[in-house]
Amino acid sequence: MLMQVLANGLMLSLIYALVSIGLTMIYGVMHILNWAHGEIVMLGAMGAYFFFAARGLPFAASLVITVILVGLLSVLIERIVFKPMRGLHLPSFIMSMGLVYVLQAFATVTLGVQDKMLPSVLTGAVFFFGAVLPKERVMLMPIAAALTIGYYLFLQTTRYGRAIRATSMDEVGAALQGISVDRCAAIAMGTGSALAAAAGCLLAPIVKVNPFMGEAIVFKAFIIVFVGGRMSLVGTILAAFLLGYTESLVAGYWNPVWIPMIEMAVLAAVLLFRPGGLVGVEIKKLGAERE
């Protein structure tokens, strides 16, 4: 039992990290609470269904195509919906809520409301110290871990990675170095959404795929962002593991219906004792002057 709980926790944590990193980036660079981030995950799962199940492409190819398409779509969303709203916190939040319904409608019209099951990508299971792990679940772990580590390295070591971090810490300071805040916003939105779409693809073979599957995910992702420390990638990853393991423990030893309650308690406790989150990064110039 314990081994099963630990293995499930690892899988959940890696998926949550992949989903939440994008939310952290979008919040950090654009200061937008993108409630439609869950629908980006949903579009990723729908993409896997469409290309892999309906069109019969290999799963890997479906994943790559979906991630690229959803990434590009999200850049378009940033330009059309979020860019005019930048610096306006409440209106941009309301717009993102509206986007939830727009994207759900889009998915409903194109692929229908009913639950979709994907054919198996891999069959069989791995037995590991008494835990039974279907190969489809095992498969997603190295992919999710590699994407997370790759994104971390992108932020830490590349020119645009530094530019994005700089922009999230001080927009004016970044602009004075010749960095385009607009371009950083587009990159943060595009790459962050691409990771969420990848998470959706990886989830598609093991969950029910439908236009409304994003709603529960985005709530958890927001808890992770605030537990982690809002702008810190390391904090987000730590918080994803905290939440992933909390969830697998509650589901394994108690009752899954109490998961949201326990997660809210975790959030409340963290914010009470460390208002800045686990990795205490305060946003000092939230919504720096619009110039």
Partner 1 sequence: MLLEVKDVTVQYGKVVGIDQVTLGVDQGEIVTLIGGNGAGKTTTLRAISGMRHPSRGEIWFDGQRIDGLSVQKIVQGGIAHAPEGRRLFDYMTVKDTLLTGAFLQKNKEGITRALERVYAHFPRLQEREKQLASTLSGGEQQMLTIGRALMVNPKVLLLDEPSLGLAPLLVQEIFRIIREINAGGVTTVLVEQNSNMALKLAHRAYVLEVGRITLQGETTELLGDERVKAAYLGG
Q: How many residues make up the chain in this entry?
A: 291
C-alpha to C-alpha distance for 11 and 9, rounded to whole angstroms: 5
Name which position in 110, 114, 120, 180 contacts partner 1 (CB under 8 A).
180
**Does 85 contact partner 1 by CB under 8 A?**
no
In angstroms, what is the minimal distance from the CB of 239 to partner 1? 17
Closest alpha carbon to 40 in 58, 12, 21: 21
Stretch that binds partner 1, among 140-148, 168-176, 209-217, 257-265 (CB under 8 A): 168-176
Q: Within 13 A of 149's CA, how many CA atoms are on the CB side?
A: 6
**Does 5 contact partner 1 by CB under 8 A?**
no
x-or-dash string of contact with partner 1, 225-254, rule CB under 8 A = ------xx----------------------
Q: How many residues bind partner 1 (CB under 8 A)?
A: 21
Cα 116 to chain centroid distance, Å, stands at 21
Alpha helices in the chain (DSSP H): 2-30, 37-48, 59-77, 89-111, 135-157, 159-169, 171-175, 181-203, 214-228, 233-253, 259-273
Beta carbons of 85 and 93 less than 8 angstroms apart: no
Burial class (CB in 10 A: 0-12, 13-18, 19+), 70: buried
Name which position in 11, 166, 203, 209 contacts partner 1 (CB under 8 A).
166
Q: Of the two residues 104 and 236, which places its CB atom closer to partner 1 in the complex?
A: 236
Name which position in 6, 162, 207, 252 contacts partner 1 (CB under 8 A).
162
Q: Of the two residues 129 and 159, which places its CB atom closer to partner 1 in the complex?
A: 159
Name which position in 84, 142, 173, 275 contacts partner 1 (CB under 8 A).
173
Q: Which residues form the interface with partner 1 (CB under 8 A)? A: 159, 162-163, 165-166, 169-170, 172-180, 231-232, 281, 284, 291
